[in-house]
Amino acid sequence: MEKINGTIINTDVEFKDFKDYNEKIVSIKGYIHRIREMTGFSFVILRTARETVQCVYAPEFSDYRFDERLKEEACVRVTGKVVGSFDKNGKERFELQIHNIEILSLPAEQLPIVINKKQLDNIQLSTVLDLRPVSMRNPKERAIFKIQEGIARGFREFLLKNNFTEIRSPKINYAGAEGGTNVFKLDYFGKQVYLAQSPQLYKQSLVGVFERVFEIAPVFRAEHHDTSRHLNEYTSMDFEMGFINDFTDIMNMETGALKYIMNLLKTEYAEEVELLHADIPEITEIPTIKFMDAKELLMTKYKYKPSDMKDFDPEEEALLGKYAKSEFNSDFIFVTHYPSKKRPFYTMDDPNDPEYTLSFDLLFRGLEITSGGQRVHDYHAQVEKMIKCGMNPEEFETYLMLHKYGAPPHGGLGLGLERLTMHLLGFKNVREATMFPRDINRVSP
Amino acid sequence: MEKINGTIINTDVEFKDFKDYNEKIVSIKGYIHRIREMTGFSFVILRTARETVQCVYAPEFSDYRFDERLKEEACVRVTGKVVGSFDKNGKERFELQIHNIEILSLPAEQLPIVINKKQLDNIQLSTVLDLRPVSMRNPKERAIFKIQEGIARGFREFLLKNNFTEIRSPKINYAGAEGGTNVFKLDYFGKQVYLAQSPQLYKQSLVGVFERVFEIAPVFRAEHHDTSRHLNEYTSMDFEMGFINDFTDIMNMETGALKYIMNLLKTEYAEEVELLHADIPEITEIPTIKFMDAKELLMTKYKYKPSDMKDFDPEEEALLGKYAKSEFNSDFIFVTHYPSKKRPFYTMDDPNDPEYTLSFDLLFRGLEITSGGQRVHDYHAQVEKMIKCGMNPEEFETYLMLHKYGAPPHGGLGLGLERLTMHLLGFKNVREATMFPRDINRVSP
A167 contact B CB<8A: yes
Instruction: Count other C-beta atoms under 10 Å from residue A108's C-beta.
Output: 16
A172 with B406: Cβ contact below 8 A: no
Strand partners, A416: A236
Kind of pairing, strands B332-336 and B288-290?
Answer: parallel
Window 49-78 of A: residues touching B by CB (8 A cutoff) are: 49-50, 73-75
Residues of each domain in chain A carrying CATH 3.30.930.10: 139-433
Contacts of B205 in chain A (CB under 8 A): 132-133
DSSP A387: H
pLDDT(A178) > 60: no
Packed helices B291-300 and B314-328: angle between N→C axes, nearest 10 degrees: 90
B408 with A74: Cβ contact below 8 A: no
Question: Looking at residues B219-232, what average pLDDT do you find?
Answer: 90
A232 with B73: Cβ contact below 8 A: no
ipTM score of the complex?
Answer: 0.96
CA distance A105 to chain B (A): 6
CA distance A37 to chain B (A): 22
| B55 Cβ contact partners less than 8 Å away, ≥ 6 residues apart | B43, B44, B45, B46, B78, B80, B95, B96, B97, B98
Question: Looking at residues A9-19, what average pLDDT do you find?
Answer: 95
pLDDT tens digits for B272-306? 999 999 999 999 999 999 999 999 999 999 999 99
pLDDT(A186) > 80: yes
Cα separation, A15 vs A27, in Å, equals 10
For residue B176, what pLDDT is reported?
56
pLDDT tens digits for B140-164? 999 999 999 999 999 999 999 999 9
A167 with B146: Cβ contact below 8 A: no
Instruction: Count other C-beta atoms under 10 Å from residue B375's C-beta.
Output: 27
Window 289-328 of A: residues touching B by CB (8 A cutoff) are: none
Cα separation, A325 vs A328, in Å, equals 6
Q: Which residue of A has its CA nearest to B203?
A: A133
Q: Number of residue pairs across A and B with CB atoms under 8 Å?
A: 245
B440 contact A CB<8A: yes
For residue B68, what pLDDT is reported?
83
For residue A61, what pLDDT is reported?
86
Correct CATH for A139-433 of 3.40.640.10, 3.30.930.10, 3.40.50.150, 3.40.50.170: 3.30.930.10
A108 contact B CB<8A: yes
For residue B154, what pLDDT is reported?
98
Contacts of B240 in chain A (CB under 8 A): none
pLDDT tens digits for A73-124? 999 999 999 999 999 999 999 999 999 999 999 999 999 999 999 999 899 9
For residue A437, what pLDDT is reported?
97
- Asked if residues A335 and A394 have their Cβ atoms less than 8 Å apart, the reply is no
In chain A, % of residues over pLDDT 70:
99
A166 contact B CB<8A: yes
SS3 A45: strand
pLDDT tens digits for A265-299? 999 999 999 999 999 999 999 999 999 999 999 99
For residue A180, what pLDDT is reported?
63
B136 with A206: Cβ contact below 8 A: yes
For residue A176, what pLDDT is reported?
56
pLDDT tens digits for B294-347? 999 999 999 999 989 999 999 999 999 999 999 999 999 999 999 999 999 999
For residue B180, what pLDDT is reported?
63
Which of the two residues, A180 and A48, has the higher pLDDT score?
A48
Q: What is the mean pLDDT of chain B?
A: 95
Question: Looking at residues A212-220, what average pLDDT do you find?
Answer: 98
SS3 A313: coil
Spell A395-419 as b/e; 16+ CB within 10 A means b: ebebbbbbbbbbbbbbbbbbbbbbb
Which of A169, A243, A404 has the CB atom closest to B107's CB atom? A404
B217 with A220: Cβ contact below 8 A: no
pLDDT(B177) > 60: no
B149 with A165: Cβ contact below 8 A: yes
CA distance A161 to chain B (A): 12
A440 with B133: Cβ contact below 8 A: no
In chain B, % of residues over pLDDT 90:
90
A440 with B174: Cβ contact below 8 A: no
Window 409-438 of A: residues touching B by CB (8 A cutoff) are: 409, 417, 435-436, 438
Q: Which residue of B has its CA nearest to A205?
A: B133
Question: Looking at residues A68-74, what average pLDDT do you find?
Answer: 93
**Segment (H or E) for A384:** helix A379-388
For residue B7, what pLDDT is reported?
82
B189 contact A CB<8A: yes
CA distance A31 to chain B (A): 8
A49 with B165: Cβ contact below 8 A: yes
Sheet strands (E) in B275-422: 288-290, 332-336, 349-350, 353-357, 359-364, 367-374, 410-416
Cα separation, B99 vs A372, in Å, equals 35
B193 with A443: Cβ contact below 8 A: yes
B29 contact A CB<8A: yes
Window 195-254 of A: residues touching B by CB (8 A cutoff) are: 195, 202, 205-206, 208-212, 217-218, 220, 222, 224, 232-233, 235, 242-243
CA distance A379 to chain B (A): 6
Pick from A22-31, A177-186, B49-58: least confident: A177-186
Q: Given pLDDT bands bounded at 50, 70 and 90, which one contains residue A6? A: confident
Which of B174, B211, B242 has the CB atom closest to A443's CB atom? B174
Which of B75, B133, B417 has the CB atom closest to A243's CB atom? B75
Q: Given pLDDT bands bounded at 50, 70 and 90, which one contains residue A364? A: very high
Q: Given pLDDT bands bounded at 50, 70 and 90, which one contains residue B408? A: very high
A114 contact B CB<8A: no
Alpha-carbon dihedral of residues B215, B218, B221, B224, nearest 10 degrees?
140
Q: Which residue of B has its CA nearest to A406?
A: B107
Closest CA to A376 of A363, A393, A362: A393
Contacts of B112 in chain A (CB under 8 A): 405
A73 with B380: Cβ contact below 8 A: no
pTM of the model: 0.97
Query: Residue A15 carries which side chain, given as an amino acid letter?
Result: F
pLDDT(B181) > 80: no
A220 with B172: Cβ contact below 8 A: yes
Which of A165, A174, A407 has the CB atom closest to B443's CB atom? A174
Contacts of B168 in chain A (CB under 8 A): 218, 235, 417, 435
Contacts of B404 in chain A (CB under 8 A): 107-109
Q: Given pLDDT bands bounded at 50, 70 and 90, which one contains residue A223? A: confident
A29 with B408: Cβ contact below 8 A: yes
SS3 A206: helix
Window 250-289 of A: residues touching B by CB (8 A cutoff) are: none
pLDDT tens digits for B118-138? 999 899 999 999 999 999 999
Cα separation, B402 vs B398, in Å, equals 8
Window 363-392 of B: residues touching A by CB (8 A cutoff) are: 377-380
DSSP B341: G
| Fold annotation for A2-105 | OB fold (Dihydrolipoamide Acetyltransferase, E2P) (2.40.50)
B401 with A131: Cβ contact below 8 A: yes
Window 144-163 of A: residues touching B by CB (8 A cutoff) are: 145-146, 149, 152-153, 160, 163
Strand partners, A359: A373
**Segment (H or E) for A333:** strand A332-336
Residues of each domain in chain B carrying CATH 2.40.50.140: 2-105
SS3 B138: coil
pLDDT(A50) > 60: yes
B243 with A29: Cβ contact below 8 A: yes
Instruction: Count other C-beta atoms under 10 Å from residue A209's C-beta.
Output: 26
For residue B67, what pLDDT is reported?
80
pLDDT(B252) > 90: yes
Q: Which residue of A has its CA nearest to B212?
A: A49
